[in-house]
Amino acid sequence: MPFQTTSKIWHNGNLIPWEQANIHVMSHVIHYGSSVFEGLRCYGQPQGSAVFRLPEHMQRLLDSAKIYRMELPFTLEELCAGVVDVIEANGVAPCYIRPIALRGYGEIGVSPKGSPIEVYIVNFPWGKYMAGHGGVDVCISSWNRLAPNTMPALAKAGANYMNSQLIRMEAEINGYSEGIALDVNGYLSEGSGENIFLVRDGVLYTTPFANSVLNGVTRRSVLTIARELGIPVVEQALPREMLYICDEAFFSGTAAEVTHLRSVDKILVGDGTMGPITTAIHKEFFAIVNGIKPDRFDWLTAVKVPVAEPVGV
Ligand SMILES: Cc1ncc(COP(=O)(O)O)c(C=O)c1O
């Protein structure tokens, strides 16, 4: 998907021109995949614009870095302020925000000790991620998700996305919008970039951390909304065939937001339309992020963006 550039990028606490945010080919990250990153959305509301769950995302960045023994030289507050600064400097909202911490140019070799840590925060306009307004047609991937004790699934690390790429490419080549991976034991895990939910007999199910999933911020938000709506929620290991016999299923994620699944492996999910529980959660989610309902969970951080148009080329 091509993206529109902006004017400034936050780099180690300073705003630099987009064109100057470059790294050397011998940077550690290029060779060994040593990066951790985040993806957030800033939504437009009648009263202005606001970033969805900013501290939760930046805390996950710090958590991912901690797992990989990367000591980021910034506090949670400084990272959150960096996100607000870059959005306001570029005057671009609504937008997608991509913070990334990486091991840069220093020494060669697997040990990252001599490579400096660099932190960048980039924002740019970005619309819908998943094709298909009437729901998406997905498949179970022939690729498994990362096995426990190989690559930590709770870290949002760049290297994990080699696995995601295999899942996504296979799905697209075979005509599907997305692939869902099973874990090492054959239970449902998650999509290449989304958590998964399904509904059966009025109960909302999702896969727990033990099935090699990312601790999705949207997943947590869906669980909060569902509990508030009085929908019974169960986090448990699920066999793949639950997706064939469930009444409803949907993805959650910053990019995918709440996207219902029309079919899995060419088997219709329910009657293929967005079912009542997915509709209720979808409606509530968008009412909050779009400022139609009050921000009762304190999920939004306001940004001051005077121009609603992207700056730059
Ligand atoms: C593998 C994977 N799972 C789940 C998610 C959903 O997480 P979130 O809702 O925090 O965007 C993402 C997206 O970041 C992801 O890449």
Atom in ligand 1 nearest the alpha carbon of residue 38: 14
Per-residue model confidence (pLDDT) at position 134:
87
In SS3 terms, 126-143 reads as: CCCCCCCCCCEEEEEEEE
CA 195 to centroid of ligand 1, rounded, Å:
6
Per-residue model confidence (pLDDT) at position 101:
98
Atom in ligand 1 nearest the alpha carbon of residue 254: 11
The model's pTM is 0.95
CA 34 to centroid of ligand 1, rounded, Å:
18
Which amino acid residue places its CA nearest to atom 4 of ligand 1? 194
> 113: which 2 tokens?
């000790």
CB within 6 Å of ligand 1 — which residues?
Answer: 39, 164, 190, 193-195, 214, 216-219, 252-254
From first to last of its 313 residues, the chain has per-residue pLDDT tens of 777 899 999 999 999 999 999 999 999 999 999 999 999 999 999 989 999 999 999 999 999 999 999 999 999 999 999 999 999 999 999 999 999 999 999 999 999 989 999 999 999 998 766 655 689 999 999 999 999 999 999 999 999 999 999 999 999 999 999 999 999 999 999 999 999 999 999 999 999 999 999 999 999 999 999 999 999 999 999 999 999 999 999 999 999 999 999 999 999 999 999 999 999 999 999 999 999 999 999 999 999 996 454 444 3
Write down the residue that tokens 């007999």 correspond to: 201
Per-residue model confidence (pLDDT) at position 177:
96
Question: Could you tell me where the DSSP H helices lie in the chain?
Answer: 28-32, 54-67, 76-90, 160-173, 217-228, 242-245, 276-289
Which amino acid residue places its CA nearest to atom 12 of ligand 1? 193
Q: Is 37 helix (H, G, I), strand (E, B) or coil?
A: strand
**Contact by Cβ (8 Å): 283, 260:** no
Which amino acid residue places its CA nearest to atom 16 of ligand 1? 193
| CA atoms within 13 A of residue 205's CA, in its CB half-sphere | 21
> 313: which 2 tokens?
């080329």
